[in-house]
Chains A and B, each alone.
Chain A
Amino acid sequence: MKFAVIVFPGSNCDVDMYHAIKDELKEEAEYVWHDSESLEGFDGILLPGGFSFGDYLRTGSIARFSPVMKEVEKAAKAGKPVFGVCNGFQVLLEAGLLPGAMHRNESLKFICKNVSLKVENNETMFTSAYDKNEIISIPVAHGEGNYYCDEETLARLEENGQIVFTYHGENPNGSVKDIAGIMNEKGNVLGMMPHPERAVDPLLGGADGLKLFKSILKQWRESHAVKA
């Protein structure tokens, strides 16, 4: 399986993402600069964390108009897995590929630590390797992870099982309903604030994030298996 790691000016978790795919998942990965106009040949699209365009105006608001985003939209429409972490999540929200918006953490502080997450939905292409309600430990590092959506949107998210991860125990940023990660209705676009790509090796503090990438791979293999 071949992943594109999209790199915007100011992305800084692109190398972690690449490492997670290449060295831990042991699949193919390639960096794709934000002004690229093609994502042909890629089976999955990854939008890494960072501070694209310096977080100017609003997080993700300028990156959302980078030429590559048209291709990301196409990939999402085609049903390919599109996964945004942290700033990547913020870009997906600004692009309208996921509902809602992000604003400042309630505490106004940048938070950098491990948090406990609950897997709310394990019947997705991103979480099938987890158990339902499994509690996992994944690091967060953000100043604007306070997810907001109106009540109508929230009801829709809940009804469709689009809330994939919630914070377990302490909510670090004040997000609505403790939301840490959501997907689109179709189930192929996921955005989350915590960084599973930084939790793929027990040597570096934990490997709870690896199952997310393994889930994506499993789904891809199953859908591309040669049927006898």
Chain B
Amino acid sequence: MFKVKVYVTLRESVLDPQGTAVKNSLSKMGYEGVEDVRIGKYMELMIEDKGQDLESAVKDMCGRLLSNPVIEDYRYEIEECVVS
């Protein structure tokens, strides 16, 4: 079994109104020096080892559904895990 951790973030060129609202809130709470907040998504996929080309399957999933390449970037980590 593999655990795939997928991180989806907004492209740098894209404004993040949610991140801006959170940044402003942190400033109001008194935290100094918070210059930028960007909000993204974190997903965990459990994938059974069927001898498939996991790497290319994950890339495919990320490009087609898990992220929108027009406004988002993604990265992922694949971990092998033992299921008891």
B-chain residues with CB within 8 Å of residue A62 when the two chains form the complex: 65
Known contacts A57-B65, A61-B65, A65-B65; is-contact A101 B17 (Cβ 8 Å):
no
B-chain residues with CB within 8 Å of residue A100 when the two chains form the complex: 70
Flag if B17 contacts A105 (CB, 8 Å): yes
**A146–B70 CA distance with the chains assembled, in angstroms:** 14
> What is the number of contacts between chain A and chain B, taking CB atoms within 8 Å?
36
Q: How many residues of B contact A (CB 8 A)?
A: 12
A-chain residues with CB within 8 Å of residue B10 when the two chains form the complex: 103
Chain B, Cβ-Cβ closest to A149: B70
Write the nearest CB–CB distance from A103 to chain B, whole angstroms. 6
Specify which of A65, A101, A108 lies most central, judged by the most chain B CB atoms within 10 Å of its CB.
A101
For window 45-74 of A, CB contacts with B under 8 Å fall at 57-58, 61-62, 65
Write the nearest CB–CB distance from B20 to chain A, whole angstroms. 9
**A104–B17 CA distance with the chains assembled, in angstroms:** 7
Q: List 15 A-B contacts (CB under 8 A).
A: A58-B68, A61-B68, A62-B65, A65-B65, A99-B70, A101-B68, A101-B71, A103-B71, A104-B17, A105-B17, A107-B17, A146-B17, A148-B71, A150-B70, A174-B17
Give B residues with C-beta under 8 Å from A.
10, 13-15, 17-18, 21, 65-66, 68, 70-71
